[in-house]
Every structure is written in structure tokens, then in C-alpha cells.
Structure 1
Amino acid sequence: MDRSDTFRILMLGNSFTRANGLPELLAEELSCEVEVHARGGARLAEQLNPKTKLGSQTLASLEAGGYAFVVLQEMSTAAVASPASFERSVQRLASLVRAQKGVPILFETWAFCEGCPRLAALGLAPSSMQDAITSVCRSIADKDRLVLAEVGEAFRKQGFAPRLYGRDGRHPSLDGTKLAVEALASAIRGA
């Protein structure tokens, strides 16, 4: 990819996608335009629902096309709690992206930080939560020939360091967001 070429990215996700200006940092890193369709707590299934504000906006944008890449970021617990639904949503969105000659990028999220109450409620450790996320994301990416941005694995390589997390132990700190941008940019450059 020639960095001098201007291209557009659409990011579909939730608060993990918007955290700490991630879209703006990605746009700066790749010298491109980034549009975001995200709402805190949103699932990819909502992006497909024309009866919701987010879904109708996303479906109209995907139909119009013009995106070189579309980043798909699912709720962080979906790989653990509802992997089949996660896969169905990704498959449907990837099909819509490809119909407009775009490249779908699957954004692998990260495990929650040790000590996070949500992690304890799941009965998992960071490594076992990441194992589940990574396994589901790799399976979907392999089966559907998707580019996978292994953001969660980048968190693992840093030992799920507390400095990567915000105060809630789930959302990223600025350091975590910068790490996510690095993984996303690498995946996009490699596509």
C-alpha cells in the first residue's frame, strides 16, 4: 500500500473502538480518512439491524461503498458468551463489505485486566479470556478469509500490563489504544 494514496476506512464497533481517539490516531498513522459507527455497548448484530439508528447508518454506508477497509470490532465478551452470534454477524458484514470491493478487518479485542470485576464474574483469568477471544477470532478469520488484527495478542505480549488499561480494567488507557493502533495499522498495511 502506497502511503501517499488517500483511502477510507470505516470502523464498526463500540467504546473500545472510540477510546482515546483511536480512529484519529489510526487516520494519522495511515494517512487516511477514518469514519466511525460506534456506540458504547454496541454489538455487531446492531450494525446489521436497519431498525436501529446505528444499523440504518451502517447499512446505508456499506451500500454506498467507497471504503478500502472496514474494521469489525465485536463486544469483548462475545467470544466467550456468544461465539456463534459473533461469527454470524462478522460473516454478514464481511459479505456486505466485499460486495463493495472493500477488505474486512476483524479487530480482535483483549482480555480484561487482572482484578477487573467483570473478569471475575466471567470466572476467567486474562490468559484464559484471551485464549477464547483469540481462538474464536482466528477461526472466523480462517474460515471467512478475513484479515485479522491481533490486538488482544499484542496485549498478551505485553503481559496484560495494567498500564494498558483504564481505571475500569476493560477499556484501554492511552498506551493500550496506541498498541491497538499499531496492531490495526500493521494488519491493514499487510492486507
Structure 2
Amino acid sequence: MSRSLMEGRACKGAFMRPSFMRFLFLCGGLVWACSSSPPVGSTDLVATDVVVDDSSESDVSVETNDTGGDDSTPSDGGDVAEDTNSEDVSTSDVAEDLGSDLSSDAGSDVATEPEVVDDTPKKVLFLGNSYTAGNNLVGWVADLAIAAEYGPGLTTKGITYGGYMLQDHQHTPSTIETIQTGEWTHVVLQEQSTIPLIALGTMQFAASSLSFTIKQTGAVPVFFETWARREGNPLYETDLAGHTPESMQEALRNAYTLVTNANGGVYAPVGDAWEISLATHPDIPLHSGDGSHAAPAGTYLAACVFFSLLTGQSPVGIELWPESLTEQEAFALQTVAHETVQAQE
């Protein structure tokens, strides 16, 4: 995997104001003219150190506490059953440098607002289950920031337990204590994958409680919209998911939008990006063999969504991707991720 950066394009414009000439014809032998010519108006990148505790290539401390990589069995004995196995780039228009005076009859000054740059280091805590733990999503988000030489720095930590619901995190004292340290700028909340379909009220209550705790520390709650099962998954033989991936994704989208708006949070459209990618790049498999969890490509797409959302930068051109992907496939997933995030802004 290569780790060089692609330089972004810069927009450049020239603002010039022409001189104006006004004149009056002779009246009684008098001619006068006037003209005016107003004057033309007009980070160091620091790679943040992260702590590694899993001897992996990622420089991130990830407290997974996962029980086998599944998003399957809620710890409270609930009856939610899940499998247990663990193009083209849309760019901004570049302003043309006309290289010539633009005529105007207004004569007013052109004011340009200074660019607002968010240089706050991002410290992100992920709460979830195997959907978050799988393929080291948390580590990929931080690694993308390092590869992109994201100046303010971005560090991540994950607390994940197999099959956990947000309700379980809400009732785990060590998780609450970790949130209350106050060291986080964002806390990502990932619900167990079928709870939005069968127990939305449970999700809403837990999301509200966790968001209250998060916001008390000054951090921002981020809601991780998960993805629908692969077509043909046994779940679609039931009435839980509407029988199709499209209907399941719509239900997930509605649920995560609801809790995001209710709690003043940020919506992370991972599931939306998956849906778009599966429609436009069906040759890139996002699901693992169980049709529920993420394959490396699916995790990478999710990581690109979080990178774009958290930093405000495009992942397109970052030369870091899983070995199982080609450069063209990585580029396609980067593009889908960024355009999906941009579409919701």
C-alpha cells in the first residue's frame, strides 16, 4: 500500500475594477471629464501520534473487547438474531482567471470573507459492536488522516462488544466513565443492526441518554448509520426488514435521522454510501461471507465516510487502501464516500 498524497486543486480568482470615464458634450463651449481608478482589492501539517495496542499496522489504541466479531446477540437476552461471523470524481468548479477588466457601473468595493479553517484536533471515541470492530474500522479512520497529513490531527479509540446495543453501552459504567473524561471532540454511536427495525423506542431512549452525557462534556454525538443486509439474506424472509435491501436501508436511514435530529447530533451516512456503491459499483463486494458484516472494502468505504465527515476534507486521492482492493476500486470508494457526505451538507 502506498502512502503518498495527491495535492488538491486550489481555486484562484482575480478581482479587478475598471476605470470609469464620464463625459458631457460641449454646451456653450464647455467640456469636462472625470475618471477614477480604485486600487485592486483584494498549517504546518502535524501528524498526530497515536498509541497502538494491537500490534497491527494501525497506530491506534482500539479497546475492542469484542467477543468474536458478531453483531448478533444483545447482552440483555433480547431476541434479536444475527449472523456471528465476524469514476469519476466530482470536483468543485474552478474560477476562471479572465485576465481582463470586467466592466461595472456600480463602483462599490468587493469584499472577500476570510476562509474559516477548523484547526481543532479531532479525538473520536467509537461505541458499537462488531460492525465497528470488524476489520479495524477505528484504526482505518486514523490511518487515513495520517496518510492525508491532516494537519490538526485525528486520534481514535473504540469500545466495542459483540452484539451490543446502545442500551448496553448506556448501562456499562466503564463506557460512561470513558465518555466523561472529557477528552473527546466526537463520540460515534452505532446501534445493533436490527434494533432500529424492531425496537426503535429502545434506540431512541438510549441515544438520548448517551447524547446527554456526551454533550455535557462538550463533545458532539455522531450517529453511525449502518447498512442493509446483502440481497438474499434470510432476514428478508421475515417482515422485519421489508423484504429488500432498499426497504431495510430506508428504515435504517429514517431511524438514524430521527435520533440525530432529536439529539442535535451529526449523521454519518455510511449505509447510504454502501447503497450507492452497491448500485454503481456492484463488482466491489462490501459484505463479508455472512451477508451482514463488512468485508474489507465495506470497512474501507465506512472509514472514508468518517474521514470526510470529521475532517471536512475529501478522501479522494489518499494513497492508502486495503491490499484486497485495486487502486481503481479504492478511488471509486473514496469518491462515493466524499460525494455521499457532500450531498447531505
**TM-score, normalization: structure 2?**
0.51
Equivalent residue for 1:52? none
Partner of 1:159: 278
Q: What residue identity is the alignment partner of 1:60?
A: E
Q: In the alignment, does 2:303 pair up with 1:181?
A: yes
Cα distance, 1:3 vs. partner? 6.8
Aligned residues: 185
Paired AA for residue 294 in structure 2: P
Identity %: 30
Report the CA distance shift for 1:29/1:58 in structure 2 as closer, same or farther (over 3 A): same
Report the residue type matching 1:106 in the other structure: F
Provide Cα deviations, 1:98-131, integer angstroms capped at 9, x if missing partner: 1111111100000000011233333521000001
Report whether the alignment pairs 1:144 with 2:263. yes
Counterpart CA distance in 2 for 1:125 and 1:117 is 11
Q: State yes or no: 1:29 paired with 2:151.
A: no
Structure 2 match to 1:86: 203
Q: How does 1:1-191 map to 2 (within 5 A)?
A: 4=46, 6-31=121-146, 32-49=154-171, 55-121=172-238, 122=240, 124-159=243-278, 161=282, 163-190=285-312
- Deviation of 1:6 after TM superposition, in Å, equals 4.1
- 1:66-108 per-residue CA deviation (whole Å, 9 max, x = no partner) reads 1111000001111111111111111111111111111111000
Partner Cα separation in structure 2 for residue 186 and residue 17 of structure 1: 17
- Greater share of helix: 1
Report the 3-state secondary structure (helix = DSSP H, G, I; strand = E; otherwise coil) of the residue aligned with 2:285: helix
| Greater Rg over alpha carbons, structure | 2
1:164 is paired with a residue whose SS is coil
TM-score of the aligned structures, taking structure 1 as reference length: 0.90
Letter in 1 for 2:306: L
Q: Which 10-residue stretch deviates more, 65-74 or 112-121?
A: 112-121
Matched residues in 2 for 1:120 and 1:23: separation?
32
In the alignment, the residues of structure 2 paired with residue 119 and residue 172 of structure 1 have an alpha-carbon distance, to the nearest angstrom, of 18
Alpha carbons 2:235, 2:243 under 8 Å: kept: no
Instruction: Work out whether residues 127 and 169 of structure 2, in 8 Å CA contact, stay in contact via their aligned partners in 1.
Output: yes
Q: Which amino acid is 2:144 matched to? A: E
The answer for unaligned runs of 5 or more in structure 1 is 50-54
Q: Which residue type is aligned with residue 174 of structure 1?
A: P
**AA aligned opposite 2:181:** A
Provide the alpha-carbon RMSD of the alignment: 1.9
Q: Which has the higher contact order (CA 8 A, sep 6+)?
A: 1
